[in-house]
Amino acid sequence: MKILLDFLPILLFFGAYKLYGIYVGTAVLMAATLVQMGVTYALERKLQTMQKATLALVLVFGTLTLVLQDERFIKWKPTVLYAAMAIALAVTVWVFRKNFLKLVLGSQLELPDAVWMRLNWLWVAYCLFMAVVNGYVAYYFSTDAWVDFKLWGYVFPLAFIIGQGLYVSRYLKSDGDVVEVESKERR
């Protein structure tokens, strides 16, 4: 049920896009995300930080998409967002000596600091990769091809999330306690 709820706005966007175009698809995505977050809030009585951020980004950039009506903006905004996220994650570590992922997810997941740091750098690399790939497709392909890429390109985040889950699972016991695998890796 949760997976369907998570992917419903995306599926509705692609359906609306194929039938009515990018701007109707964007409006459907915005409405579906609002409904999705409303249902999530009704079921769980709270929204996670990432859910709030997703809602804000969808509404802000969706509104800009509808107001500007510029295909270049639509295609390039993921590149800008991914690059900004990579920069923010790197600057948070280098300048502020904080790990943003740990700040956001640390209350839900207990991991050694070295693992949090590796995850942070993996996210930086992933975001840079996605920025480059999206930029390439946005520059060299049509809007229709770009939208198809966005649909089939979901393999990248899914593979990244599964790989990240497998990596993190090595450090957790079945009851949620942290396993000291770190010292074994250094030998």
DSSP 142-181: -HHHHHHHHHHTTHHHHHHHHHHHHHHHTTB-TTSPBP--
Do 13 and 90 sit in the same domain of this protein? no
Length of the chain (residues): 187
Q: Domain count of the chain?
A: 2
Q: What is the DSSP letter of 21?
A: -
Do 142 and 162 sit in the same domain of this protein? yes
Do 78 and 31 sit in the same domain of this protein? no
Do 47 and 31 sit in the same domain of this protein? yes
Quote the CA–CA distance of 136 and 156 in Å, as a whole number: 15
Which of 19, 48, 68 terminates a domain? The answer is: 68
pLDDT of 135 > 50? The answer is yes
CA angle 13-19-21, nearest 5°? 70
Do 39 and 110 sit in the same domain of this protein? no
Residue 48 confidence (pLDDT):
84
pTM above 0.75, yes or no: yes
Do 42 and 79 sit in the same domain of this protein? no
Do 113 and 177 sit in the same domain of this protein? yes
Could you read off the pLDDT of 42-89 as tens digits, one per residue?
999 998 877 898 899 999 999 999 999 998 888 998 999 899 999 999
Structure confidence at residue 171 as a pLDDT band (50, 70, 90): confident
Q: Which domain holds residue 31?
A: 1-68
Do 90 and 51 sit in the same domain of this protein? no
Do 112 and 166 sit in the same domain of this protein? yes
Which of 39, 68, 97 terminates a domain? The answer is: 68
Instruction: Return the closest-CA partner of residue 93 out of 118, 126, 127, 57.
Output: 118
> What is the distance, to the nearest Å, from the Cα of residue 128 to the centroid of all Cα atoms in its chain?
13
Do 61 and 80 sit in the same domain of this protein? no
Is the CB of residue 107 less than 8 Å from the CB of residue 50?
no
Do 19 and 103 sit in the same domain of this protein? no
Tokens standing for 102?
A: 């740990």
**Which residues touch 50 (CB under 8 Å, ≥6 apart)?**
104
